[in-house]
Structure 1
Amino acid sequence: MQEREYIKDTKYCQILAQSRVTDGVYTYSIEKVYVKKKKRDEIRFCLYKDTLNQIEKYIPRSLDVTELELLELFKEAINQDVFSMEMLGSLKGILSQKKVKESKVSILSTESEEKK
């Protein structure tokens, strides 16, 4: 297997790509990681915080962000190549289908209002 570049190597994984958004207290991140035991790439949503012992210590808990912060994080993840082109293509298809469904609902509700 060809050796890949990584940002950080831990016992659990290698961080291959990373998006980061900081709010002054926490750093939110979406990462592409290679999980050594499973021998595969995965996407990880995570949280880091500066502590007295360590700068940007990984915090093993859920990542709670606003929709605006999530959009900013996704934008950065796309810019940092966290997601594959196949994944982005699939996401584009899902969003296009959602847009089509919403426009059909909008047209139907407009037609029913006009009949009244």
Structure 2
Amino acid sequence: MPEKTELIKDTQYCEIHNQGRYVDNNYTYCIEKIYVKKLKRFEIRFSLYKDLTGHPEKYIARSLDVTELEFISLLKDAIEKNVFTSDMLEAMAKLLSSSRSSRTNKNSKDKEKKSIPINATQENSTQNEKEIA
């Protein structure tokens, strides 16, 4: 389960928990953290919504739903196959670096409040990163 989730919408297929959005004219582009009920797991979905008469933000089917590890694998392959420009890769690296820094600072403050032992999730993340590399 993600660190913090915010239930945005509950459908027959999934629960939408977190959502990054970009709105342009009649379309809304999203990267979402979803919980797929039938599979009982969280996935990342790239989705598209379109504003239609009488139905704002209608979900357009055929999106990409993947686990975090599948997303990393897909992203790695896209990078290796030059899908992104060097400017895009540099921007993503800066974004990841600044995100890591802000999480590290937050974690340091949290540890000052109470000691947190390493748990299995952190160990699994380290193992999964080794498998992807």
Length-normalised TM-score, structure 1: 0.50
Other-structure match for 2:33: 32
- Structure 1 residue runs without a partner (length 5+): 79-84, 95-116
Counterpart CA distance in 1 for 2:30 and 2:15 is 15
Q: Show the counterpart of 2:19.
A: 18
Aligned 1:18-97 pairs, distance under 5 A: 18-61=19-62
RMSD over equivalenced CA pairs, Å: 3.4
User: Which portions of structure 1, spanning 4 or more consecutive aligned residues, are displaced by more than 2 angstroms?
Assistant: none
| In 1, Cα distance between equivalents of 2:63 and 2:39 | 22
Instruction: Name which structure has the greater RCO, CA cutoff 8 Å, separation 6+.
Output: 1
Q: From the CA coordinates, give the structure whose radius of gyration is larger.
A: 1
Give the CA deviation at 1:43. Answer: 0.2
Unaligned runs of 5+ in 2: 65-83, 100-121
Q: Report deviation, 1:24.
A: 1.0
Structure (1 or 2) with the greater strand fraction: 2
Looking at structure 2, the residues matched to 5 and 21 of structure 1 have their Cα atoms a distance apart, in angstroms, of: 18
How many residues align? The count is 74
